[in-house]
Amino acid sequence: MTINYTDFSGKSVLVTGGNSGIGAVTATLFEELGAKVAVADINTHNESGGAGDKNNIIVGDVSKESDAENIIDSANEMLSGIDVVVNSAGIVDEIKPAVERSIEVWQRIIDVNFRGTFLISRTAARYMMEQRGGSIINIASVNGPGGWPRRTAYGPSKASIIALTKELACEWGSAGIRVNAVGPAYITTPMVEGLIKEDKIDVERLCKRTPLNRLGGPEEVARAIVFLASDWASYITGETLFVDGGWMAYGGAGDVKTF
């Protein structure tokens, strides 16, 4: 008997931050694989033209407890259950020395990226426990385990997500809930492309630092997310899968120009 592990027919998937970037591409891919998909976003504009149509968008701020609960409750009602949650909602850091950083901006990044991931996961798990199973995939970053100067909010928020992923996987495993994360490097999302146009990112330098010598595509991260949500990954939990072109493997910082 052949089993198609990438067939998500009959599965219900919620993607937060699903109107843009990695979230939008992930939502569309799940839809193409047969899943019923809902997206949650603070922004009602869908830049992908895919899964996030007006009929399945839930508007809310994941960092607010009442919004997070409404997102999950609405998705559960809309989809008649929740099998998979992708915590893709997040915001980037301002690149600024720590001593000059606004605590308000710092707190907002922590709240959306880390607090939001916890609030959505906690509320979704209550439904998943009732149905005895589910899969949660968080979005970490290579900036989580790595120390990057002048990113003193984004990096810690992503490091916290890696730790939270392990904690929740251990706590909820007996309920049949798997919790994993993906850790992208620089990905060609509209946000990153905007930074490139503003000359805030040196693409040539980043590519030299990356063993595969290129930036990643959002579809490559989306495929990793789908894998972790699928039965192919049925015995994987508590892990962070880095989708980084070898970024985390490379340790020769002194010879970037000759790589």
| Diameter over CA atoms, the chain | 61
Q: Which residue has the tokens 């603070």?
A: 42
Q: Strands across the sheet with 177-184, in order?
A: 57-59, 36-41, 12-16, 84-87, 134-139, 177-184, 240-243
Give the model's pLDDT for residue 131.
94
Q: Which residue has the tokens 């099998």?
A: 83
Q: Mapping DSSP to helix (H, G, I), strand (E, B) and coil, where does residue 61 land?
A: coil
Give the model's pLDDT for residue 135.
99
Show Cβ contacts of residue 175 under 8 Å, excluding neighbours closer than 6 positions: 125, 128, 129, 132, 133
- Read off the pLDDT of each residue in 226-249 and give the average, rounded to a whole number: 97
Q: Identify the active-site residue in 154, 186, 235, 250.
A: 154
Q: What is the mean pLDDT of the chain?
A: 91
pLDDT tens-place string over residues 141-194: 998 888 877 778 999 999 999 999 999 999 999 999 999 999 999 999 988 888
Q: pLDDT > 90: what percent of the chain? A: 75
The CA distance from 122 to 164, in Å, is 11
Q: What is the pTM of this model?
A: 0.92
pLDDT tens-place string over residues 88-133: 999 987 778 888 889 999 999 999 999 999 999 999 999 999 999 9
Rg of the chain's alpha carbons, rounded to an integer?
Answer: 18
Give the model's pLDDT for residue 259.
39
The CA distance from 214 to 235, in Å, is 31
Domain 12-250 belongs in CATH node 3.40.50.720: yes
Residue type present at position 83: D
Say if residue 32 is exposed, middle or buried (CB neighbours under 10 Å; 0-12, 13-18, 19+): middle
pLDDT tens-place string over residues 72-95: 999 999 999 999 999 999 998 777
DSSP 196-235: HHTT-S-HHHHHHHSTT-SPBPHHHHHHHHHHHHSGGGTT
Show Cβ contacts of residue 209 under 8 Å, excluding neighbours closer than 6 positions: 247, 250, 256, 259
What's the helix, strand, coil split of the chain in %, to 5?
A: 45, 15, 40
| pLDDT tier for residue 50 given thresholds of 50, 70 and 90 | low
Give the model's pLDDT for residue 192.
86
CB atoms within 10 A of CB 103: 8
Give the model's pLDDT for residue 258.
47
Asked whether residue 47 carries a pLDDT value surpassing 90, the answer given is: no
Is position 154 annotated as part of the catalytic site? yes
Residue type present at position 21: G
